[in-house]
Amino acid sequence: MVSGKHKSKTYRKVRVKTPGGRVTIHYRKRKPGKAKCGNCGKPLAGTIRERPYKIQNTPKTKKRPERPYGGVLCSKCTRELIKSKARK
């Protein structure tokens, strides 16, 4: 029988093949939603979508784009912001 906490949609079912050849179901936490732009709300490109314990082991350059406002604003909003700052 499945334990109570695994009955909700918080956990996802993953089929895992055991060394004995049987396929069993393991329950793993779901991935978080994609990072969104702080200005327009569009999903950000170039950011990883993983659980925090996996993110802390990845290098900083893999977590967000290496540009001004990388990981905060999308490329279009960044372009517009830089243009407006240059025009002032």
**Cα–Cα dist 27/17, whole Å:** 14
**Mean pLDDT of the chain, nearest integer:** 94
What is the torsional sign of CA 21, 24, 28, 33?
Answer: positive
**Cα–Cα dist 4/25, whole Å:** 15
Domain ranges within the chain, ordered by starting residue:
1-30, 31-88
DSSP 27-39: EEEPPPPPPB-TT
pLDDT digits (tens, 9 = 90+) for 52-85: 999 999 999 899 999 999 999 999 999 999 999 9
Segment 3-25 mean pLDDT: 95
What is the torsional sign of CA 39, 41, 46, 51?
Answer: positive
Segment 14-38 mean pLDDT: 96
In terms of phi and psi (left: phi > 0; alpha: psi -120 to 50; beta: otherwise), the region of 82 is alpha
Least confident stretch, 16-20, 35-39, 61-65: 61-65
